[in-house]
Amino acid sequence: MKHSIRKFLLINLLLAMTVIISLTAIGNYCLDKQDIEEHLDNLLSQAGLSFTAIAGHDIQNQNWQKLQERMDAVPAQAQKYMNHDKTPEPSSYAGKYRFQIWGPNHTLLLRSANAPTTMLSQGKFGFNDLIINNIHYRVFSNYNQDTHLIFIVAEPYFERDQLAHHIMIDDLYIMLLTYPLAGLLIWIIIGRGLRSLNQIAHALTKREPYYLESVNASDAPLEIQPLIQELNQLLQRLKDAFEREKRFAGDAAHELRTPLAAIRTQAQVASLVASSPEQLAVMQNVILGVDRAHHIVNQLLAMGRLAPDNEHFKTYQPCSLEHIIQEVLKSLSAMTREKGICVIFNHPPQTVTIHGNATALQILVRNLVDNAIRYTPNTGKIQIDLKLETEYLALTIADDGPGIPEKFRARIFERFFRIFGNEAPGSGLGLSIVKQVADLHHAHIVTTETDPIEHTGFTIIIRFPLQHLSE
């Protein structure tokens, strides 16, 4: 299962924010509620004292009935000043205070329209809590000694609770609205933080397979520098291992050529003085074995020279693939004459030049033709076609040999791979070398049967893309 650092950080940061914001909201709610209680008590006392200061005089001339009518009309008058663009909610804060004026002998002289007729006081002045008709009130009462009147201002607790509730809901809405923005900002910030990783990954992706130089870690964040250092150490170990392998193959091949040549010479001399047909056959078998070993040595040398980091084979210039094929056919003409093989070479009427490495292409063509000759029976036929297609220059080499079963075709480009029971001489390196040269030229290889009906013969098609053709 794939794991994304960006998604992991995004999800967990949002979860952490949710927990932190929730705890903060709960803490703020408790603290704000306490502050709201203090603030509302202050407003309640100021309203009560102001009420006393305004209505606490000239009691004898007051028309309480008329004042009561005016008090009853206050809620309707207050609606004129409300914002009519917004429909007031049932929990609107308008008219949340309850006013009462009590005269001597507990006579209710005046009350607000929303106040009960029961006295909102238990005889204690100042702040009190009182429950009347299952409604919990916060009460502030004041006694005027000059007029002997009791002024009471009360506020239901559910009004205060609704205020705190609305504040909490508003905070929750703001949090929910800002969540997408927070997620976007976190996503962008994480992306910028991971940009260095993407740059390093992009640089590694664009590297050639053979380029094993160290990755530049100077601009990398401190957190990933240990990773880059370990990667550089791994690249250095791989580079050293490839160097040792290349030197070993080259040195071994060079060292083997001289003794093989000496053994072949001695075998040829011994065959000249052989005293019996059996001795002559033994010497000829020795010569064939030496030739096979010499072929393997040459293939190893070719593979060593075709290493991707070999600057000689990275030098491209216009060269004629047709000319290369003709040169290879000339050099292998003795083998074709010996087996009586007919070689047909078809090519475009005009000369086509390909932008490539002539030495590597010659190795590719020679291995393909050599393989075709080895596996084509005596008096057989090999057909070579060079065709300019819409997007490719296609090289096709088809023989009428036994062919390669389909189940083995995926492995024929592996080093030293040979089908069990194959008696044709070879090293198992030829097609591996062909694959290396094709990769150097960004070419595509297709293998198939020459005769699909009889399931015989082997055909290989190599297509060189047009962007590598010279103008």
Q: Where are the domains of the chain?
A: 5-56+63-75+94-181, 225-304, 310-468
Q: What is the b/e burial string over 426-464, where b = at least 16 CB atoms within 10 angstroms of the residue's CB? A: bbbbbbbbbbbbbebbebeeebbbbeeeeeebbbbbbbb
Residues with Cβ within 8 Å of residue 458, at least 6 apart in sequence? 372, 375, 398, 399, 401, 403, 404, 447, 449, 450
User: Which pLDDT score, from 0 to 100, does residue 462 have?
Assistant: 93
- What are the pLDDT tens digits along the chain (471 aa)? 566 777 777 788 888 877 887 777 777 777 766 777 777 777 777 777 776 666 655 555 566 677 667 666 666 655 665 555 554 444 444 457 788 888 877 788 888 778 888 888 777 788 888 888 888 888 888 887 777 788 888 888 887 777 777 777 877 788 778 878 887 888 888 777 777 777 777 777 777 666 777 877 777 777 777 888 888 888 888 878 777 766 766 666 666 667 777 887 887 777 777 778 877 777 777 777 776 676 666 666 666 666 555 555 567 788 888 999 999 899 888 889 989 999 999 988 887 778 888 888 888 898 899 888 988 888 999 999 999 888 888 999 999 888 888 778 778 888 766 665 555 555 667 788 888 888 888 899 998 888 877 778 889 999 988 765 444
User: Which pLDDT score, from 0 to 100, does residue 236 have?
Assistant: 85
Lateral strand order in the sheet of 107-111: 107-111, 98-103, 149-156, 135-144, 126-132
Q: Which two tokens stand for residue 138?
A: 């916060």
**In whole angstroms, what is the distance from residue 333 CA to residue 331 CA?**
6
**In whole angstroms, what is the distance from residue 340 CA to residue 150 CA?**
135
* Fold category of 310-468 in CATH: Heat Shock Protein 90 (3.30.565)
Q: Where are the alpha helices (DSSP H) in 332-385?
A: 333-339, 358-375
User: Which pLDDT score, from 0 to 100, does residue 451 have?
Assistant: 81
**In whole angstroms, what is the distance from residue 442 CA to residue 209 CA?**
13
**Helices (H) then strands (E): counts for the chain:** 10, 12
- Could you tell me how far CA 214 lies from the centroid of its own chain? 23
Q: Is the pTM of this model over 0.75?
A: no
Backbone angles phi, psi at 346, to 5 degrees: -110, 135
**In whole angstroms, what is the distance from residue 304 CA to residue 310 CA?**
9
- Could you tell me how far CA 55 lies from the centroid of its own chain? 76
* Fold category of 225-304 in CATH: Helix Hairpins (1.10.287)
Q: What is the DSSP string of 374-423?
A: HHSPTT-EEEEEEEE-SSEEEEEEEE-SS---GGGGGGTTSTT---TT--
Two domains, one topology: 5-56+63-75+94-181 and 225-304: no
CATH ID of 5-56+63-75+94-181, from 1.10.10, 3.10.450, 3.30.450, 3.40.50: 3.30.450
User: Which pLDDT score, from 0 to 100, does residue 471 have?
Assistant: 41
Q: Which two tokens stand for residue 433?
A: 């070398």
Burial class (CB in 10 A: 0-12, 13-18, 19+), 196: middle
